[in-house]
Structure 1
Amino acid sequence: MNKLAYAAVMTAFAQSVGAGADHHVFVVQDGASFHVPPQQGQPTRIQIVTLPPYAPEVQPAERLWALTDATVAN
């Protein structure tokens, strides 16, 4: 994945969900290097919320690792 591909995916996503003046869309993303800030091609109809770095407590999926690790180890 690179910035150009990510921008194309986000543009297609904005079109598919009908993002516009009357339909505001929030996308929560992590701090991956390929995420594109709004001034670099992000669709303006989508509001981006970036998670803080090193904050696993904000990711609900992180709680599942304890369950899977115990099963795999045993």
Structure 2
Amino acid sequence: MTDETPDDTQARNRWLAIVATRIAATAGAVLGLILVARAHDWPTKGLGVAIVLAALYLMAVVPLALAHRWRSGGDA
């Protein structure tokens, strides 16, 4: 067994939060793609495209923002 320090636990929890954000964004993008593929009318397809774009934005920006916010060292 290894002894984890509070810093190790905090780092692991932050890493898990970033990974969970990426997984949620990926699931949203897949949901949007399914909606686009199965929709028969344009408003529903537009909603699917909007969901995909929002998920891609979430996937690209939020993990980087969290990593920047939680960066160790220096002024936060």
Normalising by structure 1, we get a TM-score of 0.31
Q: Which has the larger radius of gyration?
A: 2
More strand by share: 1
More helix by share: 2
Normalising by structure 2, we get a TM-score of 0.31
